[in-house]
Amino acid sequence: MSASAAIEQRNQDATIYVGNLDEKVTEELLWELMLQAGVVVNVHIPRDKVTSRHGGYGFVEFRTEEDAEYATKVMNMIQLFNKIIRVKKSSQDQKTLDIGANLFLGNLDPDVDEKLLYDTFSAFGGIVETPKIMRDPDTKVSRGFGFVSYDSFEAADLAIECMNAQYLCNRQIVVQYAYKKGSNNERHGSQAERLLASSNPNKLKPHTRFAFSTPAVPQPPPMATGMMQPMMMAPGMAMQGHMPPPPPVGMMAPQYMSHPPPPPQHF
The pLDDT tens digits for 151-163 are 889 999 999 999 9
3-state secondary structure of 120: helix
CATH 3.30.70.330 domain range(s) in the chain: 9-92, 93-203
Q: Kindly indicate the confidence band of residue 130, based on its pLDDT and cuts at 50, 70 and 90.
A: confident
Q: Kindly indicate the confidence band of residue 135, based on its pLDDT and cuts at 50, 70 and 90.
A: very high
E strand residue ranges, the chain: 15-19, 40-44, 57-62, 79-80, 83-84, 86-89, 101-106, 132-135, 142-150, 167-168, 171-172, 174-177
Contacts of 155 (CB under 8 A, 6+ apart): 101, 124, 125, 126, 206
Fold of 9-92: Alpha-Beta Plaits (3.30.70)
Q: Kindly indicate the confidence band of residue 210, based on its pLDDT and cuts at 50, 70 and 90.
A: very low
Q: Kindly indicate the confidence band of residue 265, based on its pLDDT and cuts at 50, 70 and 90.
A: low
Crossing angle (nearest 10°) for helices 191-198 and 153-163: 130
Mean of pLDDT values over 104-110: 97
Predicted confidence at residue 72, as pLDDT, reads 92
Tally the residues of the chain: 267
Residue 255 CA to residue 248 CA, distance in Å, equals 15
The model's pTM: 0.45
Give the chain's mean pLDDT.
76
CATH code of domain 93-203: 3.30.70.330
Q: Kindly indicate the confidence band of residue 137, based on its pLDDT and cuts at 50, 70 and 90.
A: confident
Q: Residue type at 190? A: S
3-state secondary structure of 154: helix
